[in-house]
Amino acid sequence: MDRNKPPDPDPPDISLAPPSPNYPLSQFADVVCSIADSQIPSHSDSQSSSHQNGRKRSGDNNNAPNHIPSKQQRNQIGRNRYSATDKAPFIVHVSRLESQPNSGTTLHPVTFGMFLVNNRIGNIVRDGVKKVGRNRVSVEFSSPQDANSFLINGILSKNSYVAIIPTFNITRMGVVTGVPTDLTEEEAMNYLTVPSGCGQILKVRRISRKIFRDGVTEFKPTETCVITFDGQVLPTRIYCCYTSLPVSQYVYPTIQCRKCCRFGHVESICRSKPRCSKCGHDHPGDGCNISEGEAFCVLCSGNHYANSKSCPELGRQKAIKNIMAEKSLSYAEVSKTIPPVSRNYANAAKSSVSSSQSYRKTVFLNLMAAP
């Protein structure tokens, strides 16, 4: 919990222009993978070109998109096309544009499946369309060429859809120790090299440790860095100035909100009403004086605080993060395989009967005693 939040995603890559409507889309399927390997610029190339072309001409705004980039595009890191060396599953996430009036409605997987059928989008796995969010569906294709053809299909933008490759499917994240603290994150990227057969380094984020000094909170940088690699292979080690550094798998930290007690976000961005972590009522838990023996957990209905380390829901969240890292899956997919922690009325009544503490008091009357 002392670690910083997961790495902030990089800005979206420059996407390929969609083909002309008069040109058959099928002819692009065989060449898109090679385009992804050779012609798509990396983040450093796109950033350098943006600096070189910093002066904008007056006519450039006419070609700029008339919509705000979606949350998926802002959170995109890595390639925006599959390469020929990528392995299945070939997944594409689709959502509505945020600038559209109907972007807040639910995107139903069957409804979007009808859209795919009516527009003759083929080579989709039989059960490949799944719901992975309120306004997001996942589409799995049979080959990387089919996925790339779908990504550049102009029918998506015409119907206010945006499609990207999920980051977890084309990148890997690892933890590296031994990186000197006097190196900045940009300098570390220049000095770090990967072995042959592994993708290039896309992002370096140094982990800071929280310390308290004279009543002031400070963040002291450590020699541990979280590194994002391109591709689907996590190297066992990388090299820094002729020194071998081991790489271990990165697992996203389990973050719990102090306001609503739910997992997955922090208090500063919470949109829910406050819930007490001690009694479960609709008020902040700072001023509640209930002891843990009388506590009520809003997550599992247990007899403990909601932020207790013994809460079963905390163990469930940690298990989800471990599976996400090991199998490179999304949170929505893994959470479906692990049912939420809850206690029904029968279990709650059974546990209360078997409790060592009894709230009934037995009274013995001495009937022989004189009044």
Query: pLDDT, tens digit, for every residue of 112-142?
Result: 999 999 999 999 999 999 998 888 999 999 9
Helix (H) or strand (E) holding 72: helix 71-74
* Residues 368, 354 contacting (CB under 8 angstroms): no
Tokens of 361: 């008091």
- Chain-wide mean pLDDT for the chain? 77
* Residues 280, 296 contacting (CB under 8 angstroms): yes
Mean pLDDT of the region 138-150? 95
Number of H helices, E strands in the chain: 11, 10
Pair (313, 342) in one structural domain: yes
The CATH number of the domain holding residue 239 is: 3.30.70
Query: pLDDT, tens digit, for every residue of 231-289?
Result: 999 999 999 999 999 999 999 999 999 999 999 899 999 988 999 999 988 888 888 88
Q: What is the pLDDT of residue 78?
A: 67
* Residues 253, 3 contacting (CB under 8 angstroms): yes
Share of the chain above pLDDT 90, in %: 48
Place 361 in a pLDDT band, splitting at 50, 70 and 90.
very low
Pair (118, 236) in one structural domain: no
Share of the chain above pLDDT 70, in %: 69
Pair (35, 149) in one structural domain: yes
Distances in Å between the Cα of 193 and the Cα atoms of 99, 108, 200, 244, 371 are 41, 44, 8, 10, 95
Pair (278, 237) in one structural domain: no
Does residue 20 belong to any structural domain of this protein? no
CA angle 334, 337, 339 (to 5 degrees): 110
Q: What is the pLDDT of residue 342?
A: 67
Pair (147, 228) in one structural domain: no
Which three-class secondary structure state does DSSP give residue 119?
coil
The CATH number of the domain holding residue 44 is: 3.30.70.330
Pair (316, 341) in one structural domain: yes
Question: Is the model more confident about 349 or about 107?
Answer: 107
Does residue 182 belong to any structural domain of this protein? yes
Pair (294, 238) in one structural domain: no
d(CA 119, CA 75): 28
Q: Is the pLDDT of residue 317 over 70?
A: yes
Distances in Å between the Cα of 33 and the Cα atoms of 62, 143, 148, 149 are 30, 10, 7, 9
d(CA 34, CA 81): 10
Q: Is the pLDDT of residue 32 over 60?
A: no
Question: Is the model more confident about 21 or about 205?
Answer: 205
Pair (114, 127) in one structural domain: yes
Q: Which residues pair with 213 in a beta bridge?
A: 216
Does residue 7 belong to any structural domain of this protein? no
Q: What is the pLDDT of residue 64?
A: 40
Q: What is the pLDDT of residue 212?
A: 87
Pair (208, 309) in one structural domain: no
Residue that the structure tokens 């001409």 belong to:
57
Mean pLDDT of the region 363-371? 51
Pair (174, 244) in one structural domain: yes
φ/ψ (deg, to 5) at 347 = -65, -40
Does residue 219 belong to any structural domain of this protein? yes
Does residue 148 belong to any structural domain of this protein? yes
Pair (277, 348) in one structural domain: yes
* Residues 175, 224 contacting (CB under 8 angstroms): yes
Rg (CA), the chain: 27
Pair (174, 161) in one structural domain: no
Among 220, 249, 278, residue at a domain's last position: 249
Among 130, 165, 200, residue at a domain's last position: 165
Does residue 62 belong to any structural domain of this protein? no
Nearest to 43 by CA among 299, 237, 228, 233: 228
Query: pLDDT, tens digit, for every residue of 70-105?
Result: 455 555 676 889 998 899 999 999 998 865 555 456
End-to-end Cα separation, the chain, in angstroms: 66
Question: Is the model more confident about 164 or about 6?
Answer: 164
Q: How many CA atoms lie within 13 A of 92 on its CB side?
A: 26
Nearest to 173 by CA among 147, 154, 196, 199: 199
Question: Is the model more confident about 72 or about 302?
Answer: 302
Does residue 60 belong to any structural domain of this protein? no
Structural domain range at position 141 = 25-48+70-165
Q: Is the pLDDT of residue 297 over 70?
A: yes
* Residues 325, 250 contacting (CB under 8 angstroms): yes
Pairing of strands 216-230, 136-141: unpaired
Does residue 135 belong to any structural domain of this protein? yes
The whole-model pTM stands at: 0.68
Which three-class secondary structure state does DSSP give residue 175?
strand
Query: pLDDT, tens digit, for every residue of 154-181?
Result: 999 999 999 999 999 999 999 999 999 9
Count of domains observed in the chain: 3
* Residues 329, 323 contacting (CB under 8 angstroms): yes
Place 346 in a pLDDT band, splitting at 50, 70 and 90.
very low
Q: Is the pLDDT of residue 328 over 90?
A: no
Among 150, 165, 180, residue at a domain's last position: 165
